[in-house]
Amino acid sequence: MNEEQKQQNIPSVQLHDGNSMPLLGLGVYKTTDQDDMRTAVDAAYQCGYRLFDTASVYGNEDLLGNAVAELGIPRNEIFLTSKVWNNAQRLNDVTGAFERSLKRLRTDYVDLYLIHWPVPGCFRQSWKQLVRLKESGAARSIGVSNFSPAQIEVLESETGVIPAVNQIECHPLWNQEETVSYCQSHGIQVQAYAPLARGAYLDREILIQIGNKYGKSAAQVGLRWLMQRKIGAIPKSVHPARINENADIFDFSLTDAEMAAIHALDEGLRTAHVPQDLVDTDWATVLA
């Protein structure tokens, strides 16, 4: 660890299934080079990150698995998340996709396995397969991503099992009030992807001003706002200084007025793309 790096004490939350999950982790979408992956995982692990978020569609589960192995990080010290992609759902091959993910990650279990998107006509069946993976112990916790409250209700009525986590895009420019409220009142942990809105809010004057008051950046203010809403976050970076910066958010608190001012920045901005095969989906009607 160099002088700029600071060991962070990242808190964990207890999921409704009894497992615990770090509130902050490292996203690795678009980290497609083995050296970058090793550098990022090493920097993150050294400053206290324990959660690493990947997906089969990122094409880098093997790079993450290799990095963890090469760095000698004990498997039981980290929390690995992966996700089943849309094609495997359509082929009704969730279990096969899961096994392939494990192999690429060089592990025999994941801490969290998610349905990446609610593929119309498939996601109920996919959820039943995730329930079986949880029962087998190979997926310690199971959850969903990009699901609406109505879609989550379908899962519960079908299987009696509610997701432990819903991973959704969430940041100051899209506060996701309705889905967050629903999940939090049903014991479902919300985890924010694109928590930096891929850079879209980093030049907002109000966030810079609030940051100046605490000696923090706009990125740190946005992440802190998520933490105070009890929403997890998985910011992505391949740069050690930014990886450290993004975790250095546990030594200050935003006031209620600052929380409200950030909340008011909402403009429903989606920065992550809806997958091409789901672009024409009318989400309001997808309940099967």
Ligand X SMILES: NC(=O)c1ccc[n+]([C@@H]2O[C@H](COP(=O)([O-])OP(=O)(O)OC[C@H]3O[C@@H](n4cnc5c(N)ncnc54)[C@H](OP(=O)(O)O)[C@@H]3O)[C@@H](O)[C@H]2O)c1
Beginning with the edge strand found earlier in the chain, give each strand of the sheet holding 232-233 in spatial order: 25-27, 51-53, 79-84, 110-115, 139-145, 165-169, 189-193, 232-233
Distance of CA 257 to the CA centre of its chain: 27
Closest by Cα among 185, 105, 96, 108 to 140:
108
Nearest-angstrom CA–CA distance, 177 and 193: 15
Candidate residues 129, 148, 237, 244; the one interacting with ligand X per rule CB under 6 A: 237
Mask for 256-275, x = binds ligand X (CB under 6 A): ----------------x---
Nearest distance from residue 175's CB to ligand X, in Å? 15
140 binds ligand X (CB under 6 A): no
Closest to ligand X by CB, 34 vs 256, is 34
Residue 235 sits in the site that holds ligand X (CB under 6 A)? yes
In the bound state with ligand X, the residue whose beta carbon lies nearer, of 73 and 269, is 269
Q: How far is the CB of 191 from ligand X (least distance, A)?
A: 9
The correct pick among 41, 78, 183, 219 for binding ligand X (CB under 6 A) is: 219
Using the minimum distance from each CB to ligand X, give the nearer residue, 229 or 236.
236
Decide if 58 is catalytic: yes
Instruction: Tell me the CA end-to-end span of the chain in Å, nearest whole number.
Output: 49
Contacts of 259 by beta carbon, 8 Å cutoff, 6+ apart:
225, 228, 229
Stretch that binds ligand X, among 85-93, 131-139, 195-203, 250-258 (CB under 6 A): 195-203
Rounded to 10 deg, the angle between the 218-228 and 256-263 helix axes is: 100
Binding of ligand X by 163 (CB under 6 A): no
Report the residue number, 129 or 244, with the smaller CB distance to ligand X: 244
211 belongs to the binding site for ligand X (CB under 6 A): no
The answer to whether 69 contacts ligand X (rule: CB under 6 A) is no
Q: What is the DSSP string of 206-249?
A: HHHHHHHHHT--HHHHHHHHHHHTT-EE--B-S-HHHHHHHH--
The one catalytic residue among 45, 49, 58, 182: 58
Rounded Cα–Cα distance for residues 90 and 274 (Å): 17
Binding site for ligand X (CB under 6 A): 27-29, 53, 116, 145-146, 167, 193-199, 202, 219, 234-239, 242, 245-246, 272
Return the active site residues. Answer: 58
